[in-house]
Chain A
Amino acid sequence: MHAVVVPTSDPQVHASTGVRRWLTSTNHKEIGTLYLVFGVAMFFVGGVMALLIRAELAQPGLQFLQPDLFNQLTTMHGLIMLLGAVMPALTGIANWQLPLMLGAPDMALPRLNNLSFWLLPPAALLLVASFFVPGGAAATGWTLYAPLSIQMGPGMDMAIFAVHLLGISSILGGINIIVTIVNMRAPGMTMMKMPMFAWTWLVTGGLLVAVMPVLACAVTMMLTDRHFGTHFFNAAGGGDPVLYQHIFWFFGHPEVYILILPAFGMISEIVPTFSRKPLFGYRSMVIATCAIGVLSFLVWGHHMFTVGMTTGPQLFFMYATLLVAVPTGVKIFNWLGTMWGGSLSFETPMLFAIGFIGVFLVGGVTGVMCAIAAVDVQLQDTYYIVAHFHYTLVAGSLFALFGGTYYWLPKWTGHMYDETLGRWHFGLSALFFNMTFFVQFLLGLAGMPRRVPDYPLQFTDLNLISSIGAAGFGLTQLLFVYIVIKCVRGGKPASDRVWDGAVGLEWTLPSPPPKHTFAVPPVIR
């Protein structure tokens, strides 16, 4: 009797195992998982820093931290959360989902994909290790403003190199995503038939390629100013620190949209599924996404109204910024239009999506207030700004990330997550988030400056509320980790379609999908 030899070309059979498997993997699903795990790990690193900051601010006076360490913590909290947690987590979901949603076998450039992930851990190591070098970590605030950043110790150099690595990683990731979306769509999937998530990532990829090099340029100038005798930002040598702010915010504002556009994309997938209706105004959503991308290059000056800018530029940046509210408003109304008359159900992803719409709206509207140059003079560098951008980034990007994770987790793992715990996670997150940050609007309006470890007595009560909220929010996130681990280990088997309202190529695959999918591209009619 002949042995039955199954002819196979499946590389899975020859795949490496253990650590080597993860180090050398070029599979979009594995790299997506790596990105997500890394993002969650850095989210907790940055979160611990935030809790230390809030512990210090719970009472006036200096309790736990000296001002210098406090400044290091605010700086690293910002850098790690933006570049180490939110961006990698968004890229992780893109890695998992884009090939599945476009009907592609993998990302277009799988080896590049492996490289862009493995640049991240060394960068994170540099940032965390910089606390232990003489002078400590960078303490300039996450914006690394000159001239302070030119004067700091070696921790600053480590931050510069970390930013370089993170920047290269993001650029490579962005390029890979663009190539995948442009070249790898299933036959018949025209640009205007693409899922909204792919559209938002296409624009985000463009922004990454356009502005991450500018950040790399700014920190390179800083590096040569520090060590190689140039004077880009040093007034004494004929340079100008305000030039740094211009270059930084030319990157910085598009960066904000890099963090929020993929979140918009996920919300645009979740809301139709649980409304059991197609996305309302798909075409206007696409146009709005592109418009936000273009406008993001024209508004950087609104971060610098108080540097001594004259009236003309102030008015230009003010009106351009107010204009951003139009496409953003289109998106909000389209989501509401999608829900209108739909047969809604409120599973955890939908709860996070609705929470996102409500709370992001607060972040957006307060942003419009900050955009008004005359008002911004009062709000600049106060807790009002801190509250504003946490409303957009925590309640915006992070809630969308949670929503997206719960939405696709059954697809990724093949198990349903614990719905009850998921709802608790949403409820507690929403409660503690608002408890932490809403009072910061009031503190900011009352004049409490940001990045200061001590404050006058009249701010005590609100700060204590904020600190209790932060502790609650931090602890709640442990619940998220528990829910995900529990779901990975087992649970009710998920069907292929998972959600009865779900539409899209990823739901035609088994849950969990095999390691290699869409080897033969599906045809879209």
Chain B
Amino acid sequence: MSGTTRHRWLLGGLALASVGMFGFGYALRPLYYTLCRLTGFNQLEVADTAAASIRPVVSRTVVMQFDSNLRDNLPWTFRPEEASVELHPGQIVRTFYDVSNNSDRSIRGQAIASYAPESAAPYVRKLECFCFTTQTLAAHEHRRMAVTFVVDPALPSDVAALALSYTFFEVAGASSVEALAAPATVPSVPTRARNK
């Protein structure tokens, strides 16, 4: 092979490799979500399960506080109905959040839960939650949304109070992103949870 031909082959191969790596960057997105689903990392929109045998530990009482936030000037009002509850680990608790759309247009939102202290997060099992699906509120619609959860009795003994906080994000351009957002959110929500 002449020098030029050898150069062209190698140049072609390397150019192809760099284009391939550009594609690989995009492939990281589905890989990331698949890996998260398989390993159970980062699954915010999936209902947790609690063992059927779970029983309240009446000898212990912890305080659960509820918090609510709106992101990006979302024109909604969003509040927990009760600021906090006292509960026993293992006790199934149901509470409600009130949300109203104060604008003249229909808006779709997604609530994301977070916990304080962070280390307590794995012990809060949400059996039913408005955060498992997006919520579409028509103009000036008001809605009462439930969340049912149980705090695992294995909660470390030094935790006496925890907080459950929700932030509502607007799902921008709802219809156009549906297709894009779909692989990330919808299939990971079991039908059971979605129908609640």
Q: Give A residues with C-beta under 8 Å from B.
A: 108-109, 112, 171, 174-175, 178-179, 182-184, 209-214, 216-218, 221, 229-232, 234-240, 242-243, 246-247, 250, 310
Q: Which residue of A has the minimal Cβ distance to B45?
A: A238
9 more A-B residue pairs beyond the given contacts A214-B28, A229-B173, with a C-beta to C-beta distance below 8 A:
A179-B11, A183-B3, A210-B21, A216-B22, A217-B21, A217-B26, A230-B177, A238-B180, A240-B42
Cβ-based interface call for B57 (8 A):
no
With A218-B25, A247-B25 as known contacts, state yes or no: A238 contacts B185, CB within 8 Å.
yes
Q: Which residues of chain A come closer than 8 Å to B7, judged between CB atoms? A: 108-109, 179, 183
Q: Give B residues with C-beta under 8 Å from A.
A: 3, 6-7, 10-11, 14-15, 17-26, 28-29, 32, 41-42, 71-72, 110, 112, 169-173, 176-177, 180-182, 184-185
In the complex, what distance in Å separates the CA atom of A459 from the CA atom of B176? 51
In the complex, what distance in Å separates the CA atom of A218 from the CA atom of B27? 11
Q: Which residues of chain A come closer than 8 Å to B172, judged between CB atoms? A: 229, 231, 234, 236-237
Q: Which residues of chain A come closer than 8 Å to B22, judged between CB atoms? A: 213-214, 216-217
Decide if B14 touches A183 in the complex (CB within 8 Å). Answer: no
Nearest CB of A to B7, in Å? 5
In the complex, what distance in Å separates the CA atom of A213 from the CA atom of B171? 30
In the complex, what distance in Å separates the CA atom of A217 from the CA atom of B71? 28
Q: Which residues of chain A come closer than 8 Å to B71, judged between CB atoms? A: 236
Q: Which residues of chain B come closer than 8 Å to A213, judged between CB atoms? A: 18-22, 24-25
Decide if A237 touches B18 in the complex (CB within 8 Å). Answer: no
Decide if B19 touches A246 in the complex (CB within 8 Å). Answer: no
In the complex, what distance in Å separates the CA atom of A234 from the CA atom of B169? 10
User: Looking at the complex, which one of A178, A183, A217, A231 makes contact with B6 (CB distance below 8 Å)?
Assistant: A183
Q: Which residues of chain A come closer than 8 Å to B15, judged between CB atoms? A: 175
Decide if B28 touches A247 in the complex (CB within 8 Å). Answer: yes
Decide if A209 touches B28 in the complex (CB within 8 Å). Answer: no
In the complex, what distance in Å separates the CA atom of A178 from the CA atom of B181? 40
Nearest CB of A to B121, in Å? 9
Decide if B25 touches A216 in the complex (CB within 8 Å). Answer: yes
With A175-B18, A178-B10, A182-B10 as known contacts, state yes or no: A237 contacts B25, CB within 8 Å.
no
Nearest CB of A to B43, in Å? 12
Q: Which residues of chain B come closer than 8 Å to A235, judged between CB atoms? A: 112, 169
Q: Which residues of chain B come closer than 8 Å to A216, judged between CB atoms? A: 22, 25
Q: Which residues of chain B come closer than 8 Å to A183, judged between CB atoms? A: 3, 6-7, 10
Q: Which residues of chain B come closer than 8 Å to A310, judged between CB atoms? A: 41
In the complex, what distance in Å separates the CA atom of A314 from the CA atom of B151? 27
Q: Which residues of chain B come closer than 8 Å to A243, judged between CB atoms? A: 28-29, 32
